[in-house]
Structure 1
Amino acid sequence: MVRAQHTLSNLTLAVYVLQAVALVTGIGALIGLAINYLKRDEVRGTIYDSHFHWQIRTFWGTLAGGVVGWVSMWMLVGFVLLFILFLWYLYRIVKGFLYLNAGKPMPV
């Protein structure tokens, strides 16, 4: 049981790292999302369930915000929206990592 918890913790950490890597490459977020959906049943009932939910919402929220930002760039407001989206994404990665490191579930 302890080994399984350690494995889930490492998997959750890996997704946070992939999301952080996505700030540079973009592809990490897709890999992280795939992990979240493929391993979702394994984390059910643990603190990692809330982290997976947080990570999934981070991905989809960022994608939606990115679309709005890119579409509105012609009005110049898109640049501001994309910058705010970048800060929001970074905040969610850092907050998730800090909660994971403290062994706490994410507030959902």
Structure 2
Amino acid sequence: MNSIATWCGAIGAIALNMIYPQESVAEGLTAKDFLVWDEPSQNSFLFSSVGMAAAIASQTKPELAQCLNDWYFGDKTNTRNGEILDFMGQYGGYHPTTVILAVVENACGEFG
């Protein structure tokens, strides 16, 4: 990730997500459950998840982190959230993070 503003935004979102009530810790959470959350909660979860994926990738696969930065952040975040939510609707029985990982890897390549 190239910009300090992007890093700060990702860190801020992660920090907010850590203090926000964690609906995601409920046992058996599925993408179908996630789709009934309010939009700000969904957006926070998605931003934090993709931000964490990019932070991890920056330590192991910098080219993947750059792809995630280019693909998701900036003025593309709302568009990408919509794409991820569409996939959640198709794969409602899976955990939301599983769907997010699948979409991210489809867009930018595998982590492993």
**What TM-score comes out, normalization by structure 1 length?**
0.47
Structure having greater relative contact order (Cα 8 Å, sep ≥ 6): 2
Which protein has the bigger helix share?
1
